[in-house]
Structure 1
Amino acid sequence: MQKRTIQQAGVTLVELMIVIAILAILTAIAAPSYQQFVLEARRAEAVESLMNAQLLLEEYRITCGSYGQHGTTFASCSNISSSEMSSVLGMKSDYYSFALTSSGASYTLTATAKDGQTEDKEGSTRCSPLTLNQSDQRAPAACW
Structure 2
Amino acid sequence: MSVQGFAELHGHGRARRQAGFTLVELMIAVAIVGILAAIAYPAYDDSVRKGRRAQAKADLVELAQRAERFYTLNNTYAGFWGSVPSGDKRSPRTGNAFYLLERSSGDTDANAFTLSATPTGAQVADSGCGTLSINQAGVRSISGSMEPARCW
Aligned positions of 1:50-129 closer than 5 A: 50-69=60-79, 73=82, 85-87=83-85, 90-93=88-91, 94-100=97-103, 101=105, 102=107, 103-121=109-127, 126-129=128-131
Q: TM-score, normalised by structure 2?
A: 0.76
Aligned letter for 2:138? D
Larger radius of gyration: 2
Corresponding residue for 2:56?
A: 46
Match of 1:35 among 38, 45, 58: 45
Q: Alpha carbons of 1:104 and 1:88: their partners in 2 closer, same or farther (altered >3 Å)?
A: farther
Secondary structure class of the residue paired with 1:109: strand
What residue identity is the alignment partner of 1:110?
S
Aligned partners of 2:36 and 2:139: how far apart in 1? 41
1:38 and 1:115 mapped to 2: Cα distance?
13
Q: Give ranges in structure 1 of 5+ residues lacking alignment.
A: 74-84
2: distance between equivalents of 1:5 and 1:90?
A: 72
Match of 1:17 among 24, 27, 44: 27
Q: Structure 2: which amino acid aligns with 1:26?
A: L
- Contact 2:132 2:141 (C-alpha < 8 Å) held by counterparts: yes
Query: Which whole-Å CA distance do the structure 1 matches of 2:55 and 2:47 have between them?
Result: 13
Structure 2: how far apart are the matches of 1:43 and 1:107? 21
Contact 2:67–2:80 (Cα < 8 Å) also in 1: no
Query: Structure 2 counterpart of 1:49, which letter?
Result: D
* Aligned CA distance change for structure 1 residues 89 and 12 (closer, same or farther; 3 Å): closer
Whether the aligned pair in 2 keeps the contact of 1:53 and 1:88 (CA below 8 Å) is no
**SS state of the match for residue 45, structure 1?**
helix
What is the TM-score normalised by the length of structure 1?
0.79
Say how many residue pairs are matched.
128
Shift of 1:99: 0.6
After TM superposition, give the deviation of residue 114 of structure 1 in Å.
0.8
Unaligned runs of 5+ in 2: 5-12, 92-96, 143-147
Root-mean-square deviation over aligned CA pairs: 2.0
Runs of 4+ in 1 over 4 A off after TM superposition: none
Structure 1 CA distance for aligned equivalents of residues 89 and 41 of structure 2? 30
